[in-house]
Structure 1
Amino acid sequence: MGNIQRKEYDATENPAIKNPDWMSKIPDEKSLCDLSIPGTSKSTWYEGLCIKQCQSWDLISQYEAGIRFVDISLQYCHKNQPSFTDMTRRNLFIPVWNITINFLRNHSKEVILIRLYEECSDFDKTKEFAQLMMRFIQNAGWSWFWKSPAIPTLGQVRGKIIILQDFDGPVIGIPYKNLIVADNQYIPTVFDIGHKWTTVIKNLAEAQNSKGDKMYLTFTSGRSSGAYPYTVAREINYKLYNFLEHLENKKNRWGIIAMDFPGSYLIQAIIQSN
C-alpha cells in the first residue's frame, strides 16, 4: 500500500488539508437531508493487514480533515463490554466518545454522525447491547446527543452527536433503517470495481434528485480477499474526485459519502458541494 498521498486517496498518517469548522459556514435552517457530508467506512480500522486496514488517519485527524460521519462496528468481548472489531480487539469505545466530545467542545458549530452497530456476535445479545449503549450515553451526558428519530436542521444539532442507530432497542437517535443506503461492500475481484462504481453513482444521483425529505448514505468502499480496501479506494476515489471536479463545485445534495482512505482534496470537493 505504501505512504501514498494524492488528491483523492491518502494512505499517510496526516491529512494535507484541515477543515475543522466547515459546518459553521452553513445556515442553521439547512436540513441534514440537504447536506453533502464526507464520511469514512470502518472508521477505526486503521491498523492491521492490507485486507483489514481501511483508514490511515486516526479519529481526531478524520474530524480535523472535515469528516463528519463515522462508521463504528462493535462486538462483545469476554468482559461483557463492547469492543471494536479491528485487528487489535482493544476496547476503544469510550475513547470514541471522549475524542468526539472533545472535538465538539472546541468546534461547537459542527455535528458528528455515528453509525453504531453490532458485528460478528457469537450469540444474540441484542437487549444487552442496547442497554450498554444507553449506559455509555448516559455516562457521557445526554446533552451531547440528539435524542429524536426525526431528521433535524443543522441549527438544532450544532455541537452534538447524532447516533444512526443500527440495532434494536430504545430510540437513541435516527434509525439507520430510515436512511436510503448503498452499501455493497463485497467486491469479489478487482475486475468488479466498475460494478461498485455503478452502485455509487446511482445512489448519488438519487440523493441529488430527491425531494430532500430522506437522508442518503453512499458507501464507496469495498473489500474481499480478491480486492483489498486500498485497491478499491484508489480506483473509486479517483472516479469520485473526477466526477465532482467535473461539476466545478456546483451546489448539489449528495447526502453522506463514506469512503476508505479519502484524500483531503476529495473531502473538500464534497464539502464545497454544499
Structure 2
Amino acid sequence: MKRLLAVVAVSAALLLVPQSARAADTSYRTLSGASNPDWMARVPDGRSLAALSIPGTHETMSIHGGDYTQTQENHGDSGGTLTAQLNAGIRAIDVRARINDGNTFTIHHGAVYQVANFDDVLDRLAAFLGAHPGETVLLRFKHECTGETGSCADATGQMSFPDIFDSYVAARPGLFWTPSVTRSSAAAVPTLGAVRGRVVLAVLNGPRGGRFADYGLAQFSGWADGSSTYVQDQYTVPTFAQIADKRAAVNTFLTTTNSGDPAKIYVNFTSGSGALAPPYWVAGGALFQQGVNPYLLGRLNAASYTRTGALMMDFPGGGLINKIISYN
C-alpha cells in the first residue's frame, strides 16, 4: 500500500509540474545555443587548471532511461552527445562504466545502458582534441556497478576495473596526459600549456566512491561518494521542496571556491535527484521552485567571482555555458 501511494503521489506531482520545468531557456536545455570549440586556446599556457572556470556535465553520457535517469539533452548515441557538449564548450566530463565481456567498458547510468561504449567516448575525445589542439578535457571516470537493486552488475570472469582502464590507455598513446594515468603516482595540478590536446584524468572512482590506487590528481585522494574537501556533490534531493537546499549548496561552494586554495581545482555539482525531484526538475525548476540552472546563471551574472571552478551540470543551457567561460 505504501508503495502504491508513493507511485500515485509521484504521478500526481508530474501532472502538476509547470511547463516551465521543461521549457528551454538560456540556462537550461539549450546546449546548441553555445559554440565554444576553441575557448581554451585563448587562455595563456602558464595558467593553472585550478585558476580556470570550467563548464562541465554530470553523468555526461546519460540520455536514456526516462525522467529519473536522463541528465543531458540527447544529441545522439555512440558519443554524439559528448561531441555536441565539447563543441558547446564543456571541458569537464563525468563518465560511468560497467565491466562488460571481453574486458571492455560499456557506459551506464545505474542499470541503464546509455548506448555508448568507452571506445566511443575515447574516439570522440581523440577526434575533438585532434581538431582543437589548444583544448584539454578533465575526466572523472567511475566504476558504476554495485550489483545492488537499481544498479548494474558487472560481467563475471573479467579483469579488474583498473587493469581494463590501463588497457584502454595503452591502446591510445598520447590521448591521456601521462602523469594522470599512472596508478603508482598521483599528479599535481598542471598548467594548461602542459596538457593541451590531452585528456586529464581527475580521478578514477570505485562504485561506492573512493579512489583506485593513485590515478588522477593528488588533490582528489579524498574524493568519495558525495562531497569531500574539493568536491560539492550533495546529490540527494528528496522532493522538489529541497531544490532550495541544493541551490544553497551550490552557492556556498562557489564562495568556498573563491576563498579556497588557489592551487586546487574545486568541483561543484549542480545536479541532484530524489523520489519527488527528478533531475530535470532540479535543473530546470518545478512546482514554483526555481531550478539550480537559472539560479546559477543569475548568481554568475550578479556576483563577481575570481573563478567558478568546474561546474558539473545537468541539462546546461548555452547562456550558462557562455557565462562560465566568460570568467576566464
TM value normalised by structure 1: 0.91
* Partner of residue 166, structure 1: 204
* Partner of residue 88, structure 2: 65
**2:193 matches 1:139:** no
* Partner of residue 113, structure 1: 138
Deviations along 1:52-83, one digit per CA (max 9) or x if unpaired, are 10000410000000000010011223444221
For 1:1-274, what aligned pairs fall within 5 Å after superposition? 4-10=23-29, 15-56=32-73, 57=75, 58-86=81-109, 87-88=112-113, 90=115, 92-122=117-147, 128-141=160-173, 143-148=174-179, 149-167=187-205, 168-169=211-212, 171-175=214-218, 176-177=220-221, 180-234=230-284, 235-247=291-303, 250=304, 252-274=306-328
- Alpha-carbon separation, structure 2, partners of 1:90 and 1:254: 32
Structure 2 gaps of 5+ residues are 1-18, 76-80, 148-152, 180-186, 206-210, 223-228, 285-290
Which SS does the other structure have where 1:88 is aligned? strand
Deviation at 1:45, TM superposition (A): 0.3
- Alpha-carbon separation, structure 2, partners of 1:91 and 1:268: 27
* Distance 1:68-1:20 versus aligned 2 partners, 3 A rule: same
- Alpha-carbon separation, structure 1, partners of 2:40 and 2:235: 29
Which SS does the other structure have where 2:113 is aligned? coil
Counterpart residue type for residue 32 of structure 2: P
Deviation at 1:170, TM superposition (A): 5.2
* Distance 1:140-1:158 versus aligned 2 partners, 3 A rule: same
* Distance 1:227-1:95 versus aligned 2 partners, 3 A rule: same
Counterpart residue type for residue 52 of structure 1: T
Deviation at 1:166, TM superposition (A): 2.7
Counterpart residue type for residue 267 of structure 1: I
- Alpha-carbon separation, structure 2, partners of 1:89 and 1:46: 7
Which SS does the other structure have where 1:164 is aligned? strand
Counterpart residue type for residue 318 of structure 2: S
Deviation at 1:150, TM superposition (A): 1.0
Identity %: 32
Deviation at 1:91, TM superposition (A): 5.0
* Distance 1:50-1:169 versus aligned 2 partners, 3 A rule: closer
Aligned 8 A contact 2:63 2:71 in 1: yes
- Alpha-carbon separation, structure 2, partners of 1:237 and 1:187: 15
Counterpart residue type for residue 299 of structure 2: F
Aligned 8 A contact 2:103 2:164 in 1: no
TM value normalised by structure 2: 0.77
Aligned length: 269
Which SS does the other structure have where 1:30 is aligned? coil
Higher Cα Rg: structure 1 or 2? 2
